[in-house]
Amino acid sequence: MSTTPRKLPSWLPILVLLISMISIQSGASLAKSLFPLIGAPGVTALRLALGTLILVVVFKPWRLRFSKEQRLPLLFYGLSLGAMNYLFYLSLQRIPLGIAVALEFTGPLAVALFSSRRPVDFIWVVLAVMGLWFLLPLGQDVAHVDLTGALLALGAGAGWAVYILSGRRAGEDHGPATVAMGSLIAAVVFVPLGAMQAADTLLHWSLLPLGLAIAVLSTALPYSLEMIALTRLPTRTFGTLMSMEPALAAMSGMVFLGETLTFSQSMALGAIIMASMGSTLTMRQESKIKQVDVG
């Protein structure tokens, strides 16, 4: 009898990643529904506290050892993780979920574009700028988006960019277990901050099941599923599929929150998605060209 493990279907990692993105956006919709009760800072504190607890139990970060060279990136990784969540939830108080995710997505898009030097990437820069122009209320307020909310979402995107860059250095030796330590650092700073702003409303036991659901949907489940998909999908496929996240966020906002987008907002969201997909695809092609040149 053969003991060779059965090969997984090629579509299964794709399905896993789609479930992960749906989980994240469902968690964001649920979090936004709690804003009238405890506010965005309170939801941030609740998610970080419970999400960190889950990650600490699973990965046991006290066993990890970080070199001196990794400690500063680890600190930036944790702080950017907390700031990213805090600013993103603050932005959701003012703008629709789909627009917030699209603006936040400019963070990793900027990291991808700045790491490339090919002329074709100018196309993706133009598409991204076009998307931002129609999402941000500049000049004649073309898209009717709250400026403060848009800037908070862009701030979350900047946090996401730092999260990516510092996470590469901090997680070189420990992989996904680094998330637990980063989340712990974020919780130390942003849980007290969010709790102070939420005041006594955060202490109601009735919020615990919803907070736990947000922590699972937005942190524990998607992070685990993403790691499964990342180790089984080509980088190009993974990046291209992740570019769908703003669209899934817009759909989640419509289904769960009753949010709708104008035509110009939908086109702007599509431009940012196309820029991200194009950047991912051409980056992969550039990598192949370099490998051929070296060979």
Q: Give 34 or 201, the one with higher predicted confidence.
A: 34
CA distance 211 to 244: 26
Reduced to 3 states (helix: H, G, I; strand: E, B; else coil), residue 7 is coil
Is the pLDDT assigned to residue 2 strictly greater than 70?
no
Predicted local confidence at residue 140, as pLDDT: 44
CA distances from residue 209 to 204, 206, 215 in whole angstroms, order as listed:
11, 7, 10
Alpha helices, H only, 60-176: 68-92, 97-104, 106-114, 121-135, 147-170
DSSP 211-252: HHHHHIIIIIHHHHHHHHHHTTS-HHHHHHHHTTHHHHHHHH
How far is residue 123's CA from residue 118's CA, in Å, rounded to a whole number?
10
- Per mean pLDDT, which range of 1-10, 90-99, 116-125, 202-211 is the poorest? 1-10
Highest mean pLDDT among 5-9, 146-150, 201-205, 260-264: 146-150
CA–CA distance, 129 with 268 (Å, rounded to integer) = 9
pLDDT at 31 over 50: yes
Higher pLDDT: 142 or 238? It is 238
Q: Using the predicted structure, report yes or no on whether residue 287 has a pLDDT greater than 60.
A: no
Q: pLDDT tens for residues 112-136?
A: 677 666 677 678 777 877 877 777 6
Q: Is the pLDDT of residue 193 over 50?
A: yes
Residue predicted with more confidence, 142 or 253: 253
Q: Which residue has the higher pLDDT, 284 or 220?
A: 220
73 pLDDT above the threshold of 50: yes
Pairwise pLDDT comparison (213 vs 274), residue with the higher score: 213
How much is the pLDDT for 156?
A: 95
Mean pLDDT over residues 165-186, rounded? 79
Task: Output the pTM of the full model.
Answer: 0.80
